[in-house]
Amino acid sequence: DTGVSQNPRHKITKRGQNVTFRCDPISEHNRLYWYRQTLGQGPEFLTYFQNEAQLEKSRLLSDRFSAERPKGSFSTLEIQRTEQGDSAMYLCASSPGQIVQETQYFGPGTRLLVL
């Protein structure tokens, strides 16, 4: 068990560029979550997957954001036409997917800075 991994750990981009982040969950975890955290605030839920199905999306996930989990393993989060307001820490978490009240295991996050 190597934990949840996220790549890259840091990303600096210019406004208007597209960026893609990757999350590798704990092996055999069926649920995968994305959160966003801005400075001084708690993480905010963006979306979650049960296997490859995206089951819930937050209103925060505008049409510039898209998340996929094509084979029910790793997931990608893409932001198109980045804006300065997208600067944040993007956190991924996973859980086994066996019961409703489950512990979520978080990765170290990808810190995005949009110039």
Partner 1 sequence: DAKTTQPNSMESNEEEPVHLPCNHSTISGTDYIHWYRQLPSQGPEYVIHGLTSNVNNRMASLAIAEDRKSSTLILHRATLRDAAVYYCILMEYGNKLVFGAGTILRVKS
Residue 81 is given by DSSP the state S
Work out the number of other CB atoms within 10 angstroms of the CB of residue 73: 15
- Minimum distance, C-beta of residue 108 to partner 1, in the bound complex (Å): 6
Under the binding rule (CB under 8 A), the answer on residue 105 touching partner 1 is yes
Q: To which residue do tokens 């995968």 refer?
A: 32
Q: Contacts with partner 1: how many residues (CB under 8 A)?
A: 25
Subset of residues 65 to 94 that bind partner 1, contact rule: CB under 8 A: 91, 93
Beta-strand ranges (E) seen in 31-100 are 31-37, 44-50, 53-57, 65-68, 75-79, 88-95
- Minimum distance, C-beta of residue 51 to partner 1, in the bound complex (Å): 14
Q: Which stretch binds partner 1 (CB under 8 A): 10-18, 63-71, 72-80, 99-107?
A: 99-107
Binding mask 16-55 for partner 1 (x = CB under 8 A): ---------------x-x-x----xxxxxx--x-------
- Minimum distance, C-beta of residue 90 to partner 1, in the bound complex (Å): 10
Contact present, 79 and 36 (Cβ < 8 Å): no
Task: Return the bridge partners of 36, or none.
Answer: 44, 90
| Helices assigned H by DSSP within 1-115 | none
Interface residues with partner 1 (CB under 8 A)? 4, 31, 33, 35, 40-45, 48, 56, 91, 93, 95, 100-109
